[in-house]
Amino acid sequence: MTHETTANTIRTQFAALATTHGWTVQYDNQDLAKPENVTWCRLTIKEGDTFQASIGGATGNTDRTVGVMIAQVFSPVGIGDKAARVMADLIKAAFRRVTYTGVKFLTPSVKSIGRVESEWQVNVICPFRFDNFA
């Protein structure tokens, strides 16, 4: 599995969730005018280290890459944190210990960041891994 395939798989699954709920999402390296008075999300995909997971076997050698998907949820300051936490909980549930086309997600966590300029921020951190067979 390539890094491009992995990123496309993650974005496709996240886009399906966002479409279902009518969310505005900014993806990596995409311009987006900051939405006014609405809860929205920025999605970032970060690959980590690659290591040899197995030698030989039916599929040959296996290299495993770990990474993290970070969904930064933003809500307008002054409306409370409910909207941000509801979105964060939905993201966490959608990416909790599931596999999408070879991308295996582990256990996500939610971290309240707090006020950032004129918005309230909550992050959802979703670790994942994928294998490449050589």
The helix (run of H) or strand (run of E) holding residue 7 is helix 3-21
Question: Looking at 25-78, which runs of residues are DSSP E strands?
Answer: 25-26, 40-54, 62-76
Instruction: Please count the structural domains in the chain.
Output: 1
What's the pTM value of the predicted model, to 2 decimals? 0.90
- For the cut 90, the answer to whether the pLDDT of residue 76 exceeds it is yes
Give the model confidence (pLDDT) of 81-116 as tens digits.
999 999 999 999 999 999 999 999 999 999 999 999
The domain containing residue 84 runs over which residues?
3-133
Q: Residues of the chain with pLDDT > 70: what percent?
A: 97
Q: Which residue has the tokens 């890094």?
A: 3
Residue 59 has pLDDT above 70, yes or no: no
> How long, in residues, is the chain?
134
The enclosing domain of 23 has a CATH number of 3.30.2000.20
Please compute, for residue 40, the number of CA atoms within 13 A of its CA located in the half-sphere on the CB side: 14
